[in-house]
Amino acid sequence: MSQKKFKGFSSLAVHGGHIKDPMYAHLTPIYASSTYVYDEAEQGMRRFSGKEEGYIYARWGNPTMNEAELKIVAMETYGLEKDGKALEAKAILHASGMAAISSLFISTLKRGDKVLTHFSLYSGTQDYLKSLLEPLEVEAIIVDLRNLNLAEKCLKEDPAIKMIYLETPANPTLQCVDLEALSKLAKQYGKLTACDNTFATPYLQQPFKFGIDFVMHSTTKFLNGHGTAIGGVLIGTDLEFMKTRATKTHRLLGGNSNAFDAFLLINGMRTLEVRMLRHCENATKVAAFLSNHPSIAKVNYNGLADHPDYAVSQRQMKHPGAMMSFELKGGFDAGVKFMNALQMCTRTVSLGTCDTLLSHPASMSHSSVPRESRLEYGITDGLIRLSVGIENIEDILEDFEQALKYK
């Protein structure tokens, strides 16, 4: 079924990757079994040697997790071709986005290698580079990758760079990097490329289209879409690498997903297009409303023509997405008061769920970070981070309108 050419993304999101259940269950069940049995010893032999396909042990995979993987591959490669044939890829489901990032780095890098990356990255990834890779003598070179000349200079001068690691759009100011240009540069210098596609989802942006080698997601966010499970996925188009080194890393790292979370993810992904259409439609209206509000100094949204990366984002994304941030004129106090005044929208970190989520990094996620350091990343005192939900726009705007009258 996953091989069938669908005319539209939702048909693919609903049906793609489905494996017919031997018991005729409509939905792939939650396979709550740690291990899988053999009819005879020889079958065990064949499975372990790879001569026969089949499940062995759930840390390595199970039917529910496999269906989630196939659906993600179908979406990330939808409509893409390579050498006149449908582009092939393999996904490996993980316990979290961070576990997928771990598999990516551990399977591709060794001591002495360097990663070239952009300064605007998910905070966990940034911390990973510093706290886990640096002690293993894998260094991160962090620059502004929107400067392509600088990117090329780095590649030219430092042969130890093995990979360009990208995230676009990225927290908190929705900076975007040019996937096509950076992928071309990487190929020219023989480097790998990886892209965290969490904010965009495969519906809005397909990094493989631009020749990126690896895509990863925190499935916790828009792919699951309902905030019911933590998860992550690593997808690659080098099938040999994915089946050998990446698979081995995933199995030995122990960052496997589980059947229940995979089941929730599958069902979330079936509605990806319809959710994203509404998320995006609402986001456009929210951005326009915030831009015109007298209490707001600045709106960071890659869908606004004055955003520095508007052009790149228009080129590589179907729509700029549903993430944005804005700065309250009143600074830290205003941030706290505005958050407290919200009546419908949800005060929390994370993103990509049906409800509109807001956080005030200066008093929450970044409260322990020294002010000077957070300012470097654009996290100002009055910055509010926003994931626009799928509620009715009238209710979202009404809540903002009244909360912006905070005292």
Ligand X SMILES: *Cc1c(COP(=O)(O)O)cnc(C)c1O
Rule CB under 6 A: which residues touch ligand X?
96-98, 122, 124-125, 167, 196, 198-199, 218, 220-221, 230, 232
**Smallest separation (angstroms) from ligand X to the CB of 261:** 11
In the complex with ligand X, the residue whose CB is nearer, 323 or 334, is 323
Q: Work out the burial of residue 101: count CB atoms within 10 Å of its CB; fewer than 13 is exposed, 13-18 middle, 19 or more buried.
A: buried
**Smallest separation (angstroms) from ligand X to the CB of 147:** 22
What's the one-letter identity of residue 93? L
**Smallest separation (angstroms) from ligand X to the CB of 170:** 7
Q: How far apart are CA 17 and CA 4, in angstroms?
A: 10
**Smallest separation (angstroms) from ligand X to the CB of 330:** 27
The token pair that represents 43 in the structure block: 């079958």
H or E, element range at 150: helix 148-157
Residue with tokens 């599958």, as numbered in its chain: 266
**Smallest separation (angstroms) from ligand X to the CB of 217:** 8
In the complex with ligand X, the residue whose CB is nearer, 341 or 364, is 364
What value, to the nearest 5°, has the Cα angle with vertex 95 and ends 93 and 100? 60
Q: Which of these, 329, 147, 163, 129, lies nearest to 238 by C-alpha position? A: 163
In the complex with ligand X, the residue whose CB is nearer, 109 or 404, is 109
Cα-Cα-Cα-Cα torsion 92, 94, 96, 97, nearest 10 degrees, comes to -20
Q: How far apart are CA 64 and CA 339, in angstroms?
A: 39
List of residues 6+ apart from 43 with CB closer than 8 A: 52, 54
Q: How far apart are CA 206 and CA 322, in angstroms?
A: 16
Report the residue closest to ligand X, judged by CB: 97
Q: How far apart are CA 405 and CA 395, in angstroms?
A: 16
In the complex with ligand X, the residue whose CB is nearer, 336 or 387, is 387
Rg, the chain, Cα only: 22
**Smallest separation (angstroms) from ligand X to the CB of 365:** 11
Q: How far apart are CA 49 and CA 58, in angstroms?
A: 17
**Smallest separation (angstroms) from ligand X to the CB of 255:** 10
Taking a C-beta distance cutoff of 8 angstroms, is the pair 272, 266 a contact? no
**Smallest separation (angstroms) from ligand X to the CB of 94:** 8
